[in-house]
Amino acid sequence: MADLLDGKALATRLQLELSEQVKTLAMRAGRPPGLAVLMVGDNPASAAYVRGKETACSRVGIASYGKHFPTDTSQAELKQVIQSLNQDDRVDGILVQLPLPDHLDAVALLNQIAPDKDADGLHPTNLGRLVRGEPGLRSCTPAGVMRLLADYQLDPKGQHAVVIGRSILVGKPLALMLLEANATVTIAHSRTADLAAVARTADILVTAIGQPKLVTPDMVKPGAIVVDVGINRITQTTGKSQLVGDVDFEAVYPVASWITPVPGGIGPMTVTMLLHNTVWSYCQRLNLAP
């Protein structure tokens, strides 16, 4: 039976440590770190995520400069807001909550964020720094995966890691981080021929493809480490909704050596790495030793 990779417990501990760090730094700097989360429209899932991020900011002492815009907000208006936040000395991190309404160009808006305030680590400059192995802001979810593995002393060095999913949010940056940690990395996706056979070769199997219970026991090498980044809301026969991952947890649990639950695995780590990025940017901008 697998052991649990408890992201929720680790996130709680890391946020407590960040809270103590922020108290000390704010006294030296004369202000706390600041994060601006921009949300457009009334997507209920996005609203819940934003509330969670703002609550976490409050918990660790980060000032929140969040802005909520109506669905019909124009590209030009949002561009102007981002440029204003780039110039605001109180703000160390800026995040645009995705997805955006269809009429908006998310990539163009993300590219407007000053790279050193890019709290989500998605600006081309920060992705380039990742490719080159240079210090910089890292994409939050992949960074959360790597921090969780490190805390449990699960070293990717020499291991074969298979990442199912190739998004710029998770799959691609995570593959680069695993390479940086000396894993041998395969990226698989929805068009991969015989996905089950590829998945079975993994010592570390990470799935971030957004398909409920896609990964079944026949796709998992016995003793593999299974990291489930997927979050999918399904409706049960009773009519109640339930959050599940991309992995069939109950079925895979007896096969793996380590596994993340959903919820309570990578989700809390994503928020924690967002806070970490904001504090890191704050320290860099104000030349503070963390």
| 121 labeled binding residue | no
CA-to-CA distance for 171 and 207, rounded, in angstroms? 8
165 is in an annotated binding site: yes
Please name the residue that has the structure tokens 């691609």.
172
* Count, residues in the chain: 290
What is the separation of C-alpha 140 from the centre of its chain, rounded to a whole number of angstroms? 3
Catalytic residue among 92, 112, 117, 120: 120
Q: Is 166 annotated as a binding residue?
A: yes
Catalytic position from the list 92, 97, 118, 246? 97
120 catalytic residue (yes or no)? yes
Q: Which of 53, 117, 172, 213 is catalytic?
A: 53
DSSP states along 250-282: HHHTTT-SEE--SSSSHHHHHHHHHHHHHHHHH
- CA–CA gap between residue 113 and residue 88 (Å, rounded): 12
Tell me how crowded residue 150 is: count the other CB atoms within 10 A of its CB. 13
19 annotated to bind ligand: no
Tell me, yes or no, if 240 is annotated catalytic.
no
Among this protein's residues, is 97 annotated catalytic? yes
Q: What's at 130, amino acid-wise? A: L
Query: In angstroms, rounded to a whole number, what is the distance separating the alpha carbons of residues 244 and 230?
Result: 8
Tell me how far apart the 2 most distant CA atoms of the chain are, in Å.
Answer: 57
- Which residues are annotated as part of the binding site? 165-167, 231
Q: Which residues are catalytic?
A: 53, 97, 120
